[in-house]
Structure 1
Amino acid sequence: MKKLIHLALIILISVSFSCQKETEKTQTSEVVTKVKNDIERIEPPHWWTGFKNTQVQLLVKHPNIMEATPSINYAGVSIEKVHKADSPNYLFLDLNISESTKAGLFNIHFKFNEEKELVQTYEIKNRLKDASDYQGFDSKDAIYLITPDRFANGDTSNDINESLKEKTIDRKNDYARHGGDLRGIIQHLDYIEEMGFTQIWSCPLLTNDMERSSYHGYAMTDFYQVDPRYGNLEEYQELATKAKEKGIGLIMDQVANHCGSAHWWMQDLPFKDWVNQQESFENNKPLNNSNHRRTSNQDSYASKRDKKEMAEGWFVPTMPDLNQRNPFMANYIIQNSIWWVETLNLSGIRQDTYPYPDKTFMSNWAGAIMNEYPNFSIVGEEWSTNPLLIAYWQEGHDNKDGYDSNLRSTMDFAMQKNMVDALNEDEKWDTGLVKIYEGLANDFAYASPKDIMVFPDNHDMSRIFTQLKGDVPNTKMALSYLLTLPRIPQIYYGTEILMHDFEKPGDHGLIRTDFPGGWQGDIVNAFSGEGLTDAQKDMQLFLKKVLNYRKSSDAIHNGQTIHFAPFMGTYFLFRVIEGETFVHIINKNEEPITIDLNRYEEVGLNGKTLINIITGETFKWQDKIILSERGSLLLTTKI
């Protein structure tokens, strides 16, 4: 009898325990049968499992949401802390997503009182690949920079969006929208691949709901929305996928420093310090705009006033300066960057106006991304021709103030200027060519020269053909030289067909001219070559040959760099690795000249046969070389 009672108790306890576990499972795994969207806005719009950092902070925007108590019943997801903002219309929720969390939908309940509750369905997704599999760009790549509104109009149905402020298309107006879009880039991936580019950097594609000049993309009014005039998120993802299939990575242009003045939050800012100079903005007082003294970031003598005006001033009156010292803003920007890396399978980020935000934050921002994606790449824009300032921002540089940027790549405005000055100067005692020779000699200042991005021009400066006064041989010398350096090269769309801004040099609207052939009815089509001049076709083919040779040149990617001081109006640069020597000769002489090759004996080319990568002609390296015309000579031992 005692045994029967004992057995019954065991069964009863077992059943009770089983029921309790089933109840707990039900309580922590609410089943979502219908998606609900009661809340005005939640950002990020979804998140993923499997990050090193298991925390994510949700921005919740809804009228009087401060009065609500949020709750979640989903296994592995918990609300760690609820933060109220200064505005009653915001909450910030700190979620913890444990390693055991399964992908799926769950509801966030916002209970106001016994009679009112709002529900928002949120999603946790599985990551498509491991973080270490995100491969960044490097010196093996060549980047094609595109201003999307001006490249190609692949879908005319999205040209005008009635819900946005700027509603016109006017190709005759350099500062209006012209209609280029994501579909236009997708349709011309074959052209980009055949030219020899391995990465695409597009100027921003997020919504710029500004009244005018919204085409450039840098006054963002929604950090999570693709501008509908460019297409939609699915098309952005399609671009990334189809580019990847062709071996082309996608670099996203991001802006941590500012937003557009029409950003949705500017009418109801979460905190009193969400943007810099917020009080002046809210009271319609004149704003103390940035003094643009970027050297205050490094200057040990800089006044507090100059540092403050640099970090907190608005870039321009229509671009409010984000306050990254606010921890919620800081989290917002970091999470936004990571969200786009995952969403688009990015190979890199180009960060606009890098020295303008709070520099401690920028180190934390880059550090957070690189910690999550160890093989990723980020390049920061530092518009300075001083190598000391460029070097300061690169990871690994020994800064006296101890600053560590966590930034792998910076932009080489110094070399760009040296090259233009050198080629424009009439040679006398080789003073022009000495500028690029000594410019490259400054590489000792950089922690990793080959991780710096070099370029002949971009969306903010005159086309290189304009800068070099319409001189074709000089333009070829500039392009081939930059593609030979121990650097990551970037070429702006249209540079390959000698696009220029002679009418108004430096005018941003004109610099960003439409790429011919990108619009139905264009008489000239640079994609097919129809209507191009002989000079344009020649330049396009020249660049195509250099880029495609560069793709497989280990000497250019990883070789030792040896250059010789300019001599008799010539400059010799060698890239050397076992099995391959690449030679780049710049010749500024108008008349034929003979150069004694014994000067370059140490490179070890004597008696070897080299091939001209442009003409295909062979040349035996012996006692002398006759340079018959001004321009570049590109030779390789790789037959």
Structure 2
Amino acid sequence: MKKLDVLRVEPPNWWVGFKETSLQLLVHYQDISERKLDVFYPGVTIKNIHYADSPNYLFIDLHISKSTKAGHFNLVFKKEHTPDLVFNYTLKSRITHSKDYIGFNSTDAIYLITPDRFSNGNPSIDINEALNEKNVDRNDNYARHGGDIKGIINQLDYINNLGFTAIWLTPLLTNNMYHGSYHGYAITDFYQIDPRFGTLNDYLMLSIETTKRGMKLIMDQVANHCGLEHWWLKDFPFKNWINHQDNYVRNRTNWNETKSITTTHRRTTNQDDYASNFDKKGMSEGWFVSVMPDLNHRNPFMAKYTIQNSIWWIETANLRGIRQDTYSYPDKGFMSLWAGAIMNEYPNFSIVGEEWTNNPLLIAYWQHGNPNKDGYLSNLKSPMDFAMQETVVNSLNNQEGYDSGLIELYEALANDFAYTKPSDIMVFPDNHDMSRIFTRLNGDIAFTKMAVSFLALIPRVLQIFYGTEILMQDFENPGDHGLVRSDFPGGWKGDQVNAFTGKGLNENQVNMQGFVKKLLNFRKHSKAIHYGKTVHFVPENGVYVLFRILDNETVIHIMNKNQGETKLYLAKFNEIGLQGRAVKNIITSYTFFWGDNITLQEKGCFIFSTKL
């Protein structure tokens, strides 16, 4: 191994005023374990120094007292007959109090963006010669396309005007991989913004500009794995830093030959009373894919590193939420500690965890407060509702029965009794890992509007993938990740179609964009949708009616799968108390009085409100 000439200290800085007064520094330098450390700063004391298996690491436990002032001090590493190594460390003052980090909730509509595919605001950084993947090719679905942080900043007004209140970006941290680095999930440096997206200052400016517009910034983080080119893997601190580390060392010249690793992607082993230890280990220790080594959080130094990294980003970028990738894949005991440490420091923060399951029982298991049989306490506020997403698609595509398949949707919402707090769960019509909703509904615009509006009105946190508002699709190769994450039209200079301005959009796209804008801007100000009681009626004759009610505001959502005009008799809904009241169609602004019946002119969704 070549001589290490960079003194790396992580976290690279910290703050005074946390509830947690301990800080563990990872220090990496050639034979650093042969040196002694001196620290002289009021309120900062060395509690312990841990030696790793590699002589090039130290793990240093510092105590930062409650009275410690912000400032700078030197970490001085001494060795006889050798010049001192000095790292100037900064303790910062906290800008925002812990309680004021207000996370996302059911009032929010979140815009999910794959940054490389959204907007190129700074073409000069598209290629970085210091990184392994150097090509930019917009004709290759798996190459980098050049979208960046500046491009997102440029389009924040577009996102805000659509009615979104938060943005979630897929990972922006350095992915120094040779291929497919655009998606961000193979992180090779957990403290660095990928220079092809911009700088840390760019990210901080994004946070500032988002906050200016009353919006929230959510960071996509990955605790389960890293990228195969992470600098750790060239010099492991411990013999158990990653899972199946022996296999990696043995096969590192040809990692595709790692079939000896047992990987079980049966996430039910986390709850299964009957699961074998063999299968449980295969789930929590198996690699997600062969180019993403699985991090071993049973190693306490890895666990501490991951927790501190999340807190560092929250504090640095004024985050209002974290989306945690592959939530159920790591050791579930660690994930409880990780989420608990964050929520203890930031009691009003929000974390959403990805658990891709169509089983509501499994979704409920991961939500904080669920009375789990095994006593597991997740500390996770918001699981993701893949079950509802799948049911929406299946229900709308199902044309059989007197209810035309809508009973599936009714029954799915009826499952909310199983959840501790349904309104904290995140629901979505599609995301970056699946075929777009317009594709899955076979290009049916009416069904696409029905799906989006239903998910926007039920008691949930709402997330919508960029481009859903203009009917982006992947008919050419459904489900292909590179195609699903296609470029947003108008994000690149010279694009013939510009969805940000409307130039070149067809009539259907303009109509859908307008629909989403009216829906979300109404939702933004509707307390009945945010906090109201939900009442729905068993679907019949291809019509499903749902109400959200709070005080004097009632919102009505009607899904009609019938072709042509359909007369809906309203006596069935008398318990809601709308007789004689004026209601307005929030999309068309047409106002009428709730009487004996209404005529639904066509297949589709109809959204009414007593808020005129």
Same fold judged by TM-score > 0.5?
A: yes
- Displacement, 1:89? 0.3
Instruction: Give the secondary-structure state (helix, strand or coil) at the position aligned to 2:574.
Output: helix
* Inter-partner Cα distance in structure 1 for 2:511 and 2:460: 25
- Displacement, 1:592? 1.3
In structure 2, what is the equivalent of residue 586 of structure 1? 559
* Inter-partner Cα distance in structure 1 for 2:386 and 2:84: 56
- Displacement, 1:117? 2.1
In structure 2, what is the equivalent of residue 236 of structure 1? 203
- Displacement, 1:114? 4.5
Unaligned runs of 5+ in 1: 1-36
Percent identity, aligned pairs only? Answer: 61
In structure 2, what is the equivalent of residue 553 of structure 1? 526
- Displacement, 1:428? 2.0
The correspondence for 2:229, drawn from 262, 269, 272, is: 262
In structure 2, what is the equivalent of residue 449 of structure 1? 422
5 Å-filtered alignment, 1:191-340, equals 191-284=158-251, 286=258, 287-340=260-313
* Inter-partner Cα distance in structure 2 for 1:308 and 1:38: 38
Indicate the larger mover: 284-293 or 152-161.
284-293
Cα contact 1:204–1:254 (8 A) shared by 2? yes
* Inter-partner Cα distance in structure 1 for 2:125 and 2:585: 47
Cα contact 2:404–2:541 (8 A) shared by 1? no
In structure 1, what is the equivalent of residue 434 of structure 2? 461
Instruction: Give the secondary-structure state (helix, strand or coil) at the position aligned to 2:189.
Output: coil
Cα contact 1:150–1:513 (8 A) shared by 2? yes
* Inter-partner Cα distance in structure 1 for 2:517 and 2:6: 52
In structure 1, what is the equivalent of residue 89 of structure 2? 122
5 Å-filtered alignment, 1:42-53, equals 42-53=9-20
Cα contact 1:38–1:119 (8 A) shared by 2? no
In structure 2, what is the equivalent of residue 482 of structure 1? 455
Partner deviation per Cα, 1:280-326 (whole Å, 9 max, x = no partner): 11111625152101000000000000000000000000000000000
Alignment: residue pair count: 603
Partner deviation per Cα, 1:31-66 (whole Å, 9 max, x = no partner): xxxxxx985200000000000000000000000001
Alignment of 1:87 with 2:60, yes or no, is no
Instruction: Give the secondary-structure state (helix, strand or coil) at the position aligned to 1:368.
Output: helix
* Inter-partner Cα distance in structure 1 for 2:584 and 2:414: 28
* Inter-partner Cα distance in structure 1 for 2:12 and 2:172: 18
In structure 1, what is the equivalent of residue 152 of structure 2? 185
- 2:342 counterpart letter in structure 1: I
Instruction: Give the secondary-structure state (helix, strand or coil) at the position aligned to 1:225.
Output: strand
- Displacement, 1:115? 3.9
5 Å-filtered alignment, 1:437-586, equals 437-586=410-559
* Inter-partner Cα distance in structure 2 for 1:65 and 1:45: 17
Instruction: Give the secondary-structure state (helix, strand or coil) at the position aligned to 2:310.
Output: helix
Cα contact 1:38–1:120 (8 A) shared by 2? no
- Displacement, 1:244? 0.3
Alignment of 1:611 with 2:584, yes or no, is yes
Alignment of 1:173 with 2:140, yes or no, is yes
In structure 2, what is the equivalent of residue 61 of structure 1? 28
Q: 1:115 to 1:507 in 2, by over 3 A?
A: closer
Cα contact 1:203–1:252 (8 A) shared by 2? yes
Alignment of 1:341 with 2:314, yes or no, is yes
* Inter-partner Cα distance in structure 1 for 2:578 and 2:235: 69
Alignment of 1:111 with 2:103, yes or no, is no
Partner deviation per Cα, 1:419-452 (whole Å, 9 max, x = no partner): 0001111142215100110000000010000000
Cα contact 1:289–1:315 (8 A) shared by 2? no
Q: 1:233 to 1:289 in 2, by over 3 A?
A: farther
In structure 2, what is the equivalent of residue 403 of structure 1? 376
Asked which structure has the greater CA Rg, the reply is 1
Cα contact 1:607–1:622 (8 A) shared by 2? yes
Cα contact 2:120–2:148 (8 A) shared by 1? yes
- 2:130 counterpart letter in structure 1: S
In structure 1, what is the equivalent of residue 39 of structure 2? 72
In structure 1, what is the equivalent of residue 254 of structure 2? none
Instruction: Give the secondary-structure state (helix, strand or coil) at the position aligned to 2:174.
Output: coil
Instruction: Give the secondary-structure state (helix, strand or coil) at the position aligned to 1:564.
Output: strand
* Inter-partner Cα distance in structure 2 for 1:107 and 1:82: 16
Cα contact 1:259–1:322 (8 A) shared by 2? yes
* Inter-partner Cα distance in structure 2 for 1:531 and 1:117: 63
